[in-house]
Amino acid sequence: MKPLDLDLPDLRLRLWDHGGDGRPVLFLHGFLDTGRSFDAVAAALPPEFRALCLDFRGHGASDRVPRSASYHQLDHLKDLLQTLDHLAAQDLAPAALVGYSMGGIIALLLAGTLPHLVERLLLVESLGALPESPEGQVERLGRALERLRRPPSPFRSFADPEAAIVRVLENNPGLTRLGAERMVRPVLRQRQDGRWEFPLDPRLRGPSPIRFSEEFWLALCGRVTARVELLEGEFGLLPRFDGTEPRLAAFGNARKRRIAGAGHALHVDAPEEVAAGVSRLFET
């Protein structure tokens, strides 16, 4: 694996290239995660695929943005579009997108708004965001604006990597110890004072200013022309969401597979299942 920096017009994004001569597959991580959490999935992929794992802005080794910019999902969507253009110019246009949690939301937004850009889409514990009513959206925007008036709170630091792993386990019920280690160990960094921290911009904290209605998500799914597979954990978030089946039905070309015994973090707890889902996207 080697780092590949994408110099976009306004910022630099880090891409983790696992190499090989196979068809490129672009992996998109979740909120407060990094592309390195797909290391085990990349290792499980057959040699006919080449894993490219992006760090979104403010996450991992990608640039932090100035106070005049933001970390909203629409910003990540813009960055994804520019990433695809950049990769295409290097003959690395992805043959499929794989999105976990927030990464799946961003990938779905692209697949629905610009369907011609996405031929295959693997959604991992992700099928769009929770819907919001018009009244709730007004209140949400107000909370987001109020948050901008306060300085961001720094993320917690840790005495050692073990303390960070324990914290991640506390914040993610159902996550296995091995899964937490796959999230933490590749990215945790030591500061000059000896403490350890995650490579995350504190400004990532705070409510999202925009949530779309359920009608929006159904219309978006209906525009997707890609071949879609959805992976959900038996104890993940999707089985508890009432909108899963209507959104899935709106695609017209989608399959769902439930992973027994797994929770939300399928990419680190069931990497072989995610790799197998990539392979199924290319079956005739």
- Pairing between strand 2-7 and 23-28? unpaired
132 and 91 housed in the same domain: yes
Q: 157, 133 in Cβ contact below 8 A?
A: no
Q: Are residues 163 and 58 in the same domain?
A: no
Domain shared by 36 and 164, yes or no: no
Instruction: Please say which residue of 197, 229, 259 terminates a domain.
Output: 197
Residues 117 and 183 in one domain: no
> Which pLDDT value is given to residue 9?
85
Residue 150 in any domain: the answer is: no
Whole-model pTM above 0.95? Answer: yes
Same domain? 9 vs 103: yes
Residue 122 and residue 186 in one domain: no
Instruction: Tell me whether residue 80 is in a domain.
Output: yes
Which residues contact residue 261 at a Cβ distance below 8 angstroms, ignoring those fewer than 6 apart?
Answer: 234, 235
Count of domains observed in the chain: 2
Statement to judge: residues 140 and 265 lie in one domain: yes
Tokens encoding 35: 């592309």
Residue-wise pLDDT tens digits, 146-186: 988 888 889 999 999 999 999 999 999 889 999 999 999 99
56 and 112 fall within a common domain: yes
User: Residue 189 pLDDT > 90, yes or no?
Assistant: yes
* Pairing of the two strands 12-17 and 23-28: unpaired
Residues in Cβ contact with 227 at an 8 Å cutoff, skipping those fewer than 6 apart: 119, 120, 121, 253, 281
Considering the domain architecture, whether residues 55 and 170 belong to the same structural domain is answered as no
Do 8 and 75 sit in the same domain of this protein? yes
- How far apart CA 22 and CA 92 sit, in angstroms, is 10
Comparing C-alpha atoms, which of 165, 178, 185 is closest to residue 269?
178
Tokens representing 29 are 């991580």
Phi first, then psi: give them for residue 177, nearest 5 degrees.
-60, -45
pLDDT confidence of residue 48? 96
Q: Is the separation of the CB atoms in 94 and 87 below 8 Å? A: yes
Q: What is the pLDDT of residues 214-239, one digit of tens each?
A: 999 999 999 999 999 999 999 999 99
The CA dihedral of 267, 99, 218, 220, to the nearest 10 degrees, is -170
State the CATH number of the domain containing residue 258: 3.40.50.1820
Greatest alpha-carbon pair distance for the chain in Å reads 55
Q: Are residues 29 and 80 in the same domain?
A: yes
15 and 41 part of one domain: yes
Write out the residue range of the structural domain in which residue 175 sits.
156-197
